[in-house]
Amino acid sequence: MSAPELRICIDESDLDASLRLDVRRGLTSHPKHLPMRLHYDGRGSTLFGELTRQPEYYQTRSERAVLHDRAGEIADALGTDPVSVIELGAGRAEKIRPLLGALADEGRLDAFWPFDVAEGEVRDVLRELATAYPDAHLGGIVGDFTRHLSQLPDHHDTRLVAFLGGTFGNFAGLERGQFLRDLREALRPGDWFLLGADLVKDPDVILAAYNDAAGVTAEFNRYVLYVLNHRLDADFEPDNFEHIVLWDSDTATIDMRLRAMKPMRADVAALGLDVRFTEGEEIHTGISTKFVRGELENQLQAAGFATTGCWTDERGYMGVFLARAV
């Protein structure tokens, strides 16, 4: 068995430059904003893992139930040919494993490629899966899937790109459309796209998932300021920012913010940036859009995909959509 191929599209200098650009632009804008991805730096990933285990946070459990219960059906819907699977934002590649297992059981898992910005996680996953799937070709892509979709492996067999966990909802509307068009351009007709999406439901259920009783989401949200303190030699006072979650019924979107509880000043030394806050001023830290099935299928169609299947958990909280590039 050959060593896994690793495609490095981004390195620490790229990540540092991106961080500096995002923070300077975000903290000098009105309103102030910071990108959601900064929350997952270091301890943030651990906090998110803890968040997914909170009783209010239905997303991970619901999607896992769909993939566990319906993996065989999804594999069958892909036809009978061998399949090469690429998972965007793979992390530990835990979400996709039921489907990998179903394909492997049928002798149809030709390849698996985790695609993630964290090189260490990509390497760890490849080492782990080399034992689990010794007959599959393994490779990895270290990059930003909003910029490096051209690096998708060009296997001759059918390709399935998976984007799970509801992360698709973290894009703003124009960004979602651009991502879908970029992905379609990177695929051949007949390739597949598997998308996990959080569906519209009772707003109280949604709001509770982002404001759990144990306060893990609040700690996770404030953690972005610790990232700036650590990586950019800033001196934010995270405990003096209140975690705020709002629901916009018109756009079916959760809006997360940090609200200054008093007038404050923060020095971001690495950027030479002096940031001032009035009491009540907010930093927008992320969104999460929820979807109606028909509307999402229309978005996929507009980008060049035909939806062929949708599976949900028993409560209809999360949807897993299978679409084919046309």
Mean pLDDT in residue range 22-45 = 91
Please give the radius of gyration of the chain, using alpha carbons only, rounded to the nearest integer. Answer: 20
Classify residue 200 by its DSSP letter. Answer: P
Total count of domains within the chain: 1
Here the CATH number for the domain that contains residue 209 is 3.40.50.150
Q: Has residue 156 got a pLDDT over 80?
A: no
pLDDT at 300: 98
Q: pTM of this prediction?
A: 0.95
- pLDDT per residue as tens digits for the range 112-121: 999 998 898 9
Q: Is residue 141's pLDDT more than 60?
A: yes
pLDDT band at 1 (very low <50, low <70, confident <90, very high): low
Q: Is the pLDDT of residue 78 over 60?
A: yes
Res. 155: pLDDT tops 80: no
CA distance 145 to 152: 10
What's the domain range around 258? 1-326
Residue length, the chain? 326
What backbone torsions phi and psi does residue 235 show, to the nearest 5 degrees? -135, 45
